[in-house]
Structure 1
Amino acid sequence: MRRPAPRRSGRRSLSIHGRLFLGFGGALGVCGALMVAIIYVGMRFVPTYDLTRTVDVPAGSVPPQVCTPPGALPSHPGNIPCPAPAEGVKAGSPADITTKEEVWSTVLTFSVGGVLLVMVLGLGAGWVLSKRLLAPLHTISEAAARAADGNLRDRIGAAGPEDELKQLADTFDGMLGRLEESFAAHQRFAANASHELLTPLATTRTLLQLAGDDPTGEELTELVPMLWETNERNIHVVRALLDLAAADRAPFDPEPVDLSALAERAAAERAGQAASYGIRLEAETEPDCEVAGNTTLLRQLLLNLLDNALTHNLPAGGSVHLSVHREEGAGGDEGVVIEVDNTGPQVDRAVLERLFEPFYRVRARVSSDRSGHGLGLAIVRSVATAHRGTVAATANPGGGLTVRVDLPATP
């Protein structure tokens, strides 16, 4: 039975793609602002500027004048006193910037230094951010390695926002859970199948030993019916196993099958068995209940449902109700529903899912000498899955079981 998907919380979190985009975008913006600040501070406060305007006078246009230093007598009548240095004017030094070429050289120096610093900081921030965001991948990888070694019990249990990585971790946990259940079911299947086949074989060996120990052969007449019954039971189990294997490997057949007519014929085939058990069998069908599939497998599905309902019923005075009708699904598509409702003892809700496991039987439900091999509902599930359908069982409040099979209807 397909399990419903877990509901997501109403708070919508940012995806890992968006977080990476915003993270690296923010880092780029910070690094750009840092680079501008480095260039501005360096150009504003580090060098000393001496950008006084100088005028070039062509040679010969003005007669040369010789100035006399302050406090000295003029050596020539045309000499003028040398001007005193103005207050606030710094004396020149090799670190001063006095030309445009020196300005561009300083800009280039600080730009290269800023780029190198920003690159180091950006790489460091990107490394830390990517490692933090992609850390769940390492955990998922470790869980996958443990699962490859056969450990299916450990879970990742990722915490944090509902981004792609957490969804991947949750999906991986769900896959591990289904694998663990599947392997456990297969182990139970192997153990139950071995027990189911070994018991009749051991009985046959005992009967043959008894017949061999009797030299007169008188007991052989009494043992032959028991041998025949034991052999028939082995044949039934092997046939059921073959039916289960055929249902699992059956390809999807697109031919339309009228389930209403098929259900009526199946009910007619089991009417005599129901009468011998003292059980009232009713069939209620609607017209135009067609599905695409294999007629033989769908007939087997209906017969197995009826056999299960008749076998696990009241000793006498019980009832079985078979219904086939069309019903609109949750997605708006129409489907065909098969429901088999039977009376019987109370069924524990905890074992409903295990009823579809091969060879699983709830012995408390059988209150008469009727018996089955425990493969009926397992074949029902395999046939329903092969026809793109689902099957579920519900315990009735008054006792008994209701098995529902949903199949997609033909247009």
Structure 2
Amino acid sequence: MPATASERARPTRRPLRVRRPGQVRRPRSPFCRIRWTARLRLTLLYGALFLLSGAALLAITYFLVASGGKPRVFLLGSGMEGGPPLDSEAIRHAMRRDADRQRQATLDQLLVQSGVALALMSAVSVVLGWLTAGRVLRPVRTMTEKARRISERNLHERLAVTGPADELKDLGDTFDSLLARLDSAFDAQKRFVANASHELRTPLTLQRALIEVALSNPTADARSLRTVCERVLAAGEQQERLIEALLTLARSQRGLERRRPTDLAPVVADALRAAPPDGVRIERSLAPAWTPGEPRLVERLVTNLVDNALRHNDGGADAWVRVSTGTEGGRPVLRVINSGPVIPADRVETLFQPFQRYASRAGGPDGLGLGLSIVAAVATAHGAELTAVPGPEGGLDIAVAFRALPRTRVPTPGPAPSRSASRRPPAP
């Protein structure tokens, strides 16, 4: 299989076959060497249909002519004057036999001539079918040639099929939209790899610089070396968190292997208990909201949303975060609203892309820039609908509408589970 669409397929080596003693090699059929292209198949189909319809028309015509009735014979007079009387019945019988013979000869001639005409017109229909099929399939050949030239290096090119709005143009437009999505996906992947490389290299560069400075200082004591080790350890912890976040993002984008009934309310309660409020007023309204999903990924989604709402806040006595779970329109919904700096509406969508940061309470970019991108990936893996709009007083208003469980699988309400019990929802 070629690596790219522009490369030609390499011929595959056939496995070596050992012929047994006395085994006779069968000759290959000439039909196996024919390349059954769409044009050839359409031509044969046109010819076969014309032949069948012509044969049916010939049979119907022959049947109608043959069943038209036998000719009638009339005998006028009784013979020559003064001669012997004629046997009228014998004469009528002879004349009827001659008429039947002539009629059968006419039918045979009609059948032969019609068969010859049908054979000639069948040959003409095959030629016309070959030409028509070639003209109809010409856009397909054009699309094939253009598609062969497109690879990952020129995904910006398009087929740009022209002509009437038929099925072939729809196919070309669909392929162009696919190329556009692939082009954007390749660009996003390149940006992600570049950003990930930069983010992974920054702690390594910092660690190397700290160690080189410490080693180049001849008067370094145990206290300064301990300080350097602590800074190197902190940089390593940051790198570890980044790698864990990247693995979570990759796992979310891969999709879910299995789903279990999960209640959003206890997961949110555990996340709020584990998150340090740090002077932010947290308002909660947690109602049961069961959804089929992967509990660990749902927990990471909730943790990232809560951490993002607490981190990117304006601080002070009026800082607040509202978290609610429940059912809206038959779907379980998680909603997180926070106060904070005013975010432009055109900037909200970019915050869900990897390594996109916004100002935190410290006044500058903070975090790894992967929190909301992991939220978007987990929501996509669960088939959830994610909406985010700027808050009326700043911050973000984020809502995640998950899929609902079937009514037969909704667990009965019970006492509020603990943190360990929330990860093991009751059996449906």
TM-score normalized by the length of structure 1: 0.66
> What secondary structure sits across from 2:203 in the alignment?
helix
Using the TM superposition, give the Cα deviation of residue 301 of structure 1 relative to its aligned residue in structure 2, in angstroms.
0.8
Q: Tell me whether 1:282 sits opposite 2:299 in the alignment.
A: no
- C-alpha deviation, 1:245, in angstroms: 3.2
1:343 is the counterpart of 2:339: yes
Shift of 1:152: 2.0
User: Shift of the alpha carbon at 1:407?
Assistant: 1.4
Counterpart in 1 of 2:125?
Answer: 122
2:399 aligns to what?
A: 404
Q: What are the residue-to-residue correspondences of 1:373-388 with 2, within 5 Å? A: 373-388=368-383
Q: How big is each residue's C-alpha offset from its partner over 1:323-381, in whole Å with a ceiling of 9 and x where there is no partner? A: 222122xxxxx32122222333444444544433322x144677615611011122222
Q: Cα distance, 1:410 vs. partner?
A: 1.6
- Asked whether the 8 Å contact 2:376–2:386 carries over to 1, the reply is yes
Please tell me whether residue 389 in structure 1 is matched to residue 384 in structure 2.
Answer: yes
Distance 2:299 2:152 in 1: 42
- 1:146 to 2:142 alignment: no
Which residue is 2:235 aligned to?
Answer: 230
Matched length? 327
Q: Equivalents in 1 of 2:322, 2:139: separation in Å?
A: 52
CA–CA distance in 2 between the matches of 1:335 and 1:143? Answer: 45
Query: Match for residue 301 of structure 1?
Result: 301
CA distance in 2, matches of 1:201, 1:230: 8
Deviation readout 1:193-236 (Å, 9 max, x if unpaired) = 11001112111211112211222214435534433332221122
Aligned residue for 1:188, secondary structure, equals helix
Letter in 2 for 1:141: T
Q: Does 1:200 align with 2:195?
A: no
- CA distance in 1: counterparts of 2:361 and 2:400, whole angstroms: 23
C-alpha distance in 1 between matches for 2:197 and 2:351: 19
Q: Matched residues in 1 for 2:382 and 2:190: separation?
A: 26
Equivalent position of 1:216 in the other structure: 219
Task: Say if 1:384 and 1:391, in contact at 8 Å, map to a contact too.
Answer: yes
Deviates more, 1:232-241 or 1:148-157: 148-157
> Structure 1 residue 245 and structure 2 residue 250: aligned?
yes
Superimposed CA distance per residue, residues 34-78 of structure 1 (whole angstroms, 9 cap, x where no aligned partner): x99xx9xxxxxxxxxxxxx999x99xx958xxxxxxxxxxxxxxx
Q: Distance in 2 between matches of 1:299 and 1:357?
A: 20
Provide the residue aligned with 2:260 in structure 1. Answer: 255
The alpha-carbon distance between structure 1 residues 124 and 340, as it changes in their structure 2 partners (threshold 3 A), is farther
| Amino acid paired to 2:354 | P
Indicate how the Cα distance of structure 1 residues 149 and 201 shifts in structure 2: closer, same or farther if over 3 A, else same.
Answer: closer
SS in 2 for 1:322: strand
C-alpha change, 1:215 and 1:152, in structure 2 (3 Å) is same
Q: Any unmatched runs of 5+ in structure 2?
A: 1-41, 62-73, 85-100, 407-428
Aligned to 2:158: 155
Aligned-residue CA RMSD in angstroms?
A: 4.1
Q: CA deviation at 1:394?
A: 2.9
Check whether the contact 1:257–1:295 (CA below 8 A) recurs between aligned residues.
yes
CA contact (8 A) 1:313 1:343 kept: yes
User: Residue 101 and residue 249 in structure 1: after superposition, are their counterparts in 2 closer, same or farther (change >3 A)?
Assistant: closer
2:271 aligned to which of 259, 266, 270: 266
Query: Tell me, what secondary structure is at the counterpart of 1:210?
Result: helix
Structure 1 residue 190 displacement after superposition: 1.1
Matched, 1:357 2:359: no
| CA deviation map 1:297-322 (0-9, x unaligned) | 21111010112223333354443322
2:324 counterpart of 1:323: yes
CA 1:338–1:137 in 2, change beyond 3 Å: closer, same or farther?
farther
Aligned residue for 2:95?
Answer: none
SS of the residue corresponding to residue 402 of structure 1 reads strand
Matches of 2:344 and 2:116 in 1, distance apart?
76
**How many angstroms apart in 2 are the aligned matches of 1:213 and 1:134?**
74
Check whether the contact 1:347–1:365 (CA below 8 A) recurs between aligned residues. no
- Tell me which amino acid in the other structure corresponds to 1:281: I
Alignment partners' CA distance in 1, 2:287 and 2:271 = 15
Shift of 1:263: 1.2
Within 1, Cα distance between the matches of 2:162 and 2:230? Answer: 65
Distance 1:143 1:349, change over 3 A: farther
Question: What is aligned with 2:24?
Answer: none
User: 1: CA distance between counterparts of 2:320 and 2:160?
Assistant: 47
Structure 1 spans left out of the alignment, 5+ residues: 1-19, 40-52, 64-97, 329-333
Report the AA paired with residue 117 of structure 2.
G
Contact 1:311–1:370, Cα closer than 8 Å, also in 2: no
Which has the higher Rg, Structure 1 or Structure 2? 1
- TM-score w.r.t. structure 2 length? 0.63
Instruction: State the alpha-carbon separation in 1 of the partners of residues 389 and 136 from structure 2.
Output: 44
Contact 1:252 1:293 in 2 (8 A): no
* Aligned amino acid, residue 231 of structure 2: M
- Please give the alpha-carbon distance, in whole angstroms, between the structure 2 residues aligned to 1:366 and 1:138: 59
Q: Aligned runs of 1:10-25 on 2, under 5 Å? A: none
Q: Partner of 1:154: helix, strand, or coil?
A: coil
